[in-house]
A and B are shown apart, each in its own frame.
Chain A
Amino acid sequence: MRTVAFAMSMLAATAFPVLIASAEEDHHEHVTEAGGLRIIHPWARAARQGQNTLVFMEIDNEAGEDVLESAETEAANVARIVGVTFKDGIAATQEIGAIDVPPGDFALDPAGLAIELVGLTETLEQGGEFELEVHFRNAGELHLHVDVEAANATQHSHAGHSH
Chain B
Amino acid sequence: MFTIALSWCYMLYYMTMNMDPVSQWRVVDIGLLFMMWGIMMAGMMLPSAIPVIMLVDKLNHRRKQHSKPFTQTLYFTLGYLLAWLVYSLLATLIQWWLHHLMILSPMMISINTGFSSAVLIFAGLYQWSPFKQKCLQLCRSPFSFISSHWREGIVGAIRLGLSHGQYCLGCCWLLMALLFVTGVMNITWIFILSMIVIVEKLLPKGEIISKTLGLLLIGYGCYLFL
Q: Does B associate with A?
A: no
A interface list, Cβ under 8 A from B? none
B interface list, Cβ under 8 A from A? none
